[in-house]
Amino acid sequence: MLYSATNMALTMTNEAYLSILECQLYPEGSPLNYGLVNSIQSAKRTSVKHCDNINFYQRILHHEIDSLQQARLLTSQKVVTSGKQFIYVWDLKNTLVRSENERPAAQIKLALDDSSSSIIGPALCVAKNKQIVVNGAENGYLALWNLADYQTGSNQRALMPRNKNKITEDPTNKILSCDCKEDSTNISCTSSRGNVIIWDYRTNKIAQNVEKAHKAAAMSCHMNPHKEHYLLTSSADGIIEWWDTRKMKNVFKNSEPSPLSTFKQHQSSVNKVSWSPHNNELFASCSDDCSVIIWNTEVNRDLFLPFIQ
């Protein structure tokens, strides 16, 4: 399934929906792959959003009408979404409604604290097996919730974080992305000032804090699911950095950041990087330059697939 968090402007009113699409992936080399890309490019030109192998599956009307920031898959039947005031955990089996005016009930609500002033940030990640949800809040905190703490049938308004740590003191230095792994207690995050930070939530200490790891805003990060210490980060100036977290230079030692390698091909902001779930040497990146690139870290060059650029 492909999960897309979008704000959809309707004719009469503005509503925030979580659109759930079912996407069939064709084998490598299949001519249908080319047909898919052609359909996407045609849809972009004509504003007709249609592809032969992507079908509408389900739509959830979000609780926060004017704000739906991110969506993450927790299990095959559970989705985590973030608004501005709360993070919601949805059970897809129980989100069907009988009328357009009826809103589905989220299974669990997560809040940063008991006040209404703390605002959920755009950075959201989940560790599925651990039932962990992490958010980079607008106030500079990384907050971690363990869904196992929620008591079914209780009257609690919202589940509070199990751990929190102040990552950025400067209110203009926003947390833009975060990532976590199933087999690690480290949370990686990036900020609008180009910083890369690693927080160990077990000890509640910052393990790494590399200022100006990127010269522009650090948009995305992803920890390698196969190799414990490999980390990717990307920035608004089109640069991708590959790090070994054991060798990242710490600013407190007054040394320059030293990534293992730097990848330059994109012509605009790289909004997302993602390691391959099947190969520890490959990763993908997508950019505002309307291209997707597959990279090979082993040879430090991109395996360019122009039909998906």
Cα separation, 190 vs 239, whole angstroms:
14
- Topology of domain 167-308, per CATH? Methylamine Dehydrogenase; Chain H (2.130.10)
The pTM (predicted TM-score) of the whole model is 0.78
Mean pLDDT of the chain: 77
pLDDT at 188: 96
Q: How confident is the model at residue 129 (pLDDT cuts 50, 70, 90)?
A: confident
**Confidence category of residue 7, pLDDT binned at 50, 70, 90:** very low
- Mean pLDDT for the stretch of residues 11-17: 48
pLDDT of residue 279: 87
Q: Rounded distance, CA 241 to CA 272, Å?
A: 12
User: In this predicted structure, what is the pLDDT of residue 42?
Assistant: 40
pLDDT for 27 equals 47
Whole-number Å distance between alpha carbons of 67 and 202: 32
Would you say 25 and 37 are in contact if contact means Cβ atoms under 8 Å apart?
no
pLDDT in tens, 170-181: 989 999 999 998
Answer yes or no: are the C-beta atoms of 72 and 79 closer than 8 Å.
yes
Burial 282-307 (b: 16+ CB within 10 A, else e): bbbbbbeeebebebebeeeebeeeee
Question: What pLDDT sits at residue 290?
Answer: 85
Average pLDDT value for residue range 148-160: 81
Q: Tell me which of 97 and 135 has the higher pLDDT.
A: 135
- The structure tokens listed for 51 are 């592809």
Q: Which pLDDT band, with edges at 50, 70 and 90, does 223 fall under?
A: very high
